[in-house]
Amino acid sequence: MSITVLLGAQWGDEGKGRITDALAADADVVARFNGGDNAGHSITIGTQVVKLHLIPSGIFRPEILNVVGNGVVFNPRNFLKEMAEVVAVGVTISPDNLKISEGAHVILPGHVALDVARESTSKGIGTTKRGIGFAYMDKAKREGIRAGMMHDPERFGDAVHAHTEDVNATLKRVGQPVLDADALAAEYVQAAEQLKPFLANTFAVMHRALAQNKRVLAEGAQAVLLDIDHGTYPYVTSSNATIGGVMTGLGVPPQAITRVVGVAKAFSTRVGAGPFVTELFEDMALRLRGTGANPWDEYGSTTGRPRRVGWLDSVALRYAVQLNGITELALTKLDILSGLPELKIATAYEVNAEQSNNFPQDSEVLARCQPVYETLPGWAEDVSGVRSYADLPKQAQAYVERIEALTGARVSLVSVGPEREQLIAR
């Protein structure tokens, strides 16, 4: 039994996609356990770029079985659209290489409309407007619609109709345009017909794979600091993006997990609102964010929003390591730091005239924390062509090793560019 878990160790967008892509080379099963189509990463296939939001990243390797677990919130409309895009670049998707959990809760246009409506008010937190929180709300209220209902398309259509009418009552009350319940019901009957063959008891699928000693990669979406329980609440997503989400979102036991890889960027970024202790502004922010001209510049892959950027925060990263039992870190985008005369790492927070390296549970306290920085020398060399750790400038090695010392986790992978070969294993 072996499950490798891949988690975003900061606020998302750490470059999980490319690390998943590398780890998938050694996997038989790739399974998503949390979140929905709020996640996003781009994969280059030949000259075409495909954005995956919901389909697990193993889909580009024909021998891999891809699983959408019960902890995911599943948007049938967007899934079908994404499937068509992936098929258009020559990838085969069938019930043989993709299974959707009957237990996953469904995201409907009503959930999206409610998310959009709330984001237009002062209660908005900068969501991706994908209806994520509203679908998980229905799940927690025990009023959700699960994917398994698509086995009976007519019944599913009726449920979509009823849900839409319910939502319309709310939309009317807040002065938002209503949805066409009849048209949606008809659309979702069709969607269910198409998706029915992919539905599976993914608990059984996962346990069969484990019994056969298959290598499973549990692919996290979002990240530790966006976790509903352990993140910077309320500026979080609505699922468990941390280690517990693997067990609940796939129905697998903790003993099966043998490796936990945390993906961290060599600096920090965040999209959406919420406290960000090491945030930078003006020139240094522009320098780290990039102009948007390059695909790797810091603009959201799902929403296109410019990301907030900052120095590496070892207080938050150490918290991520402790919380998830991260056995190794993959450090991405080290190349972006080339040419900076000096680099800062936050090693503690100061609040109420006291310093601590504990990550506060209360976001209001976090918002008042000031970073205590350690300054390290930068390096001038372009590292994007470096392929072995020993060939990195000494200052870059010192930066990596300082992160290890501060967080307590080994850095086993370092990326120095977006291409597959620009990944240095240590």
* Enzyme catalytic residues: 13, 41
Give CA–CA dist 349/231, Å, rounded.
Answer: 17
Q: How far is the CB of 309 from ligand IMP (least distance, A)?
A: 13
Nearer to ligand IMP, 66 or 128 (CB): 128
Q: How far is the CB of 336 from ligand IMP (least distance, A)?
A: 18
Nearer to ligand IMP, 210 or 271 (CB): 271
Nearer to ligand IMP, 215 or 333 (CB): 333
Cα–Cα–Cα angle for 15, 20, 21, rounded to 5 degrees: 100
Residue nearest to ligand IMP (CB): 272
User: How many residues belong to the chain?
Assistant: 426
Nearer to ligand IMP, 288 or 424 (CB): 288
Backbone region of residue 97 per phi and psi (left: phi > 0; alpha: psi in -120 to 50; beta: other values): alpha
Q: How far is the CB of 248 from ligand IMP (least distance, A)?
A: 17
DSSP character string of 294-351: STTSSB-TTT-PBPEEE-EEHHHHHHHHHHHT--EEEEE-GGGGTT-SEEEEEEEEEE
Q: How far is the CB of 249 from ligand IMP (least distance, A)?
A: 15
Q: How far is the CB of 126 from ligand IMP (least distance, A)?
A: 5
Which of 200, 241, 192 has the alpha carbon at shortest distance from 98?
200
Peptide bond into 234 cis (omega under 30): yes
Tell me the residue type at 270: R
Q: How far is the CB of 302 from ligand IMP (least distance, A)?
A: 6
Give CA–CA dist 419/426, Å, rounded.
Answer: 18
Nearer to ligand IMP, 28 or 37 (CB): 37
What number of other Cβ atoms are within 10 A of residue 331's Cβ? 28
Which of 58, 21, 17, 28 has the alpha carbon at shortest distance from 206?
28
Output the six-digit token pair for 124.
Answer: 């908005």
- Per DSSP, the three-state class of 226 is helix
What Å distances lie between residue 85 and 15, 17, 58, 102, CA to CA? 21, 17, 15, 24
Note the residues at the interface with ligand IMP (CB under 6 A). Answer: 12-13, 38-40, 125-128, 130, 132-133, 221-222, 226, 235, 237-238, 271-272
Tell me the residue type at 407: T
Q: How far is the CB of 196 from ligand IMP (least distance, A)?
A: 27
Nearer to ligand IMP, 199 or 316 (CB): 316
Nearer to ligand IMP, 10 or 101 (CB): 10
- Asked if residue 71 lies in contact with residue 34, where contact means CB atoms within 8 angstroms, the answer is yes
